[in-house]
Structure 1
């Protein structure tokens, strides 16, 4: 496939387009979540923990968030009583993070906002395109 300058569209073009798309989506979703006093990272942490408790290390790896940033995000969510920490009975050095009942309630609201955001995107670019892109991105490492 030829690019703008008659050259092959390479991985650099793909990477650039994905980064630009990611930034636009995060910016737009961030504006929606900000109305609830939330950031995209806070929403992602709640989502990741809703399915299962994890340690901070597991969470950082799963979400690809640097440890210092993740610590700030989790601290804010703990301070808001949306998450809580607990020590492992087998290994006192191991601390797991859990979503509180209040956190689950808040996550339900945030998920509704995120779903509405995705529906609006589908309205702009086509639901089938969003579905295909989502399926394709799931195949990437």
Structure 2
């Protein structure tokens, strides 16, 4: 194989993102990555790193997200919680079941409409959430440093993107 036909290496392969860039894009052989591809890849890598950190406390990312959503002490209707977290209702019910089995959340029926169920963070859940948040914050700080995202303006751009 001629050197011009060889697979690109190093920077040109997009090692940091796993997406072909550089020399391939310049020759027209492959288009540059779409933003959605980069975001999806970043999401997978960030989530797997966070999952590993939370696993130290025997917790999943989705369980942690539910606990965080309940942290204000107000409780959330199950349907509202599913919509907010973008988790299907059936999956959320299983997550809340698991969290309730551990004593970290509890459910409460609405006094006027018994079909309306809200989830609430227990005292034990609040203690657990503090430990989980500390792990997540350490992971977040490491990611921000590694990704050069310490600038608050960059964080705002990511928040806007997440809100689309």
**Same fold at TM > 0.5:** yes
Q: Give the unaligned 5+ runs of structure 1.
A: none
Q: Give the unaligned 5+ runs of structure 2.
A: 1-21
Change beyond 3 A, Cα 1:79–1:86: same
Post-superposition Cα deviations, 1:6-63, rounded to whole Å, max 9, x if no partner, equal 58x88x7011111100110000000010110000000000000112311110001000
Residue in 2 that maps onto 1:44: 65
Q: How many residue pairs were aligned?
A: 137
Name the one with the larger helix percent.
1
Indicate yes or no: 2:44 matched with 1:29.
Answer: no
TM-score, normalisation: structure 1: 0.88
Question: Which structure's relative contact order is higher, taking Cα pairs within 8 Å and 6+ residues apart?
Answer: 1
Choose 1 or 2 for highest CA Rg: 2
TM-score, normalisation: structure 2: 0.76
Select the residue among 112, 127, 135 that pairs with 2:134. Answer: 112
Residue in 1 that maps onto 2:14: none
Q: Secondary structure at the match of 2:87?
A: coil
Indicate yes or no: 2:116 matched with 1:85.
Answer: no
Task: Report deviation, 1:128.
Answer: 2.3
Q: Secondary structure at the match of 2:119?
A: strand
Indicate yes or no: 2:125 matched with 1:103.
Answer: yes
Taking only aligned residues, the RMSD between alpha carbons, in angstroms, comes to 2.1
Quick one: distance in 2 between partners of 1:133 and 1:64?
A: 24
For the 8 Å contact 2:149–2:155, the answer to whether it is kept is: no
Quick one: distance in 1 between partners of 2:96 and 2:110?
A: 18
Quick one: distance in 1 between partners of 2:150 and 2:55?
A: 28
